[in-house]
């Protein structure tokens, strides 16, 4: 008889999609792969009318695309600083340029 090989643990995102709540609070990045987050992100986009809120504060209307690479849903107060990951009031739509600036990956874009 061949020895039984233990199945590898399910990947975390497969599990968190089902339950959404198993993940520890410290590992917030894994939340971004959950359907719960995608749904919430969509709600924020719609609420913000697909406009970058940082640009809007500067009086510029920048529309963002629906695809994940075309926009960012940003935590106004960073989760590691006590911000609530799931609170819509702590979330806003940013364009890629503003998000890059905020996360310190500064790029000079025309």
Which residues contact Zn ion (rule: CB under 5 A)?
Answer: 52, 54-55, 62, 95, 98
Specify the residue, 37 or 99, whose C-beta has the smaller distance to Zn ion: 99
Specify the residue, 23 or 91, whose C-beta has the smaller distance to Zn ion: 91
3-state helix, strand, coil in the chain (%, to 5): 45, 10, 45
d(CA 72, CA 50): 10
CB 109 within 8 A of CB 83: no
In the complex, the smallest distance separating the C-beta of residue 82 from Zn ion, rounded to whole angstroms, is 25
Specify the residue, 16 or 74, whose C-beta has the smaller distance to Zn ion: 74
């Amino acid at each position: 008889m061949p020895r039984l090989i233990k199945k590898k643990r399910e990947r975390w995102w497969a599990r968190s999609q089902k339950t959404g709540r198993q993940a520890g609070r410290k590992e917030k990045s894994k939340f971004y792969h959950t359907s719960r987050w995608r749904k919430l992100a969509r709600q924020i986009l719609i609420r913000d009318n697909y406009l970058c809120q940082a640009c809007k504060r500067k009086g510029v209307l920048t529309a963002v695309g629906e695809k994940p690479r075309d926009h960012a849903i940003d935590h106004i107060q960073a989760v590691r600083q006590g911000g609530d990951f799931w609170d819509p009031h702590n979330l806003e739509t940013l364009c890629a340029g503003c998000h890059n600036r905020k996360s310190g990956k500064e790029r000079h874009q025309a």
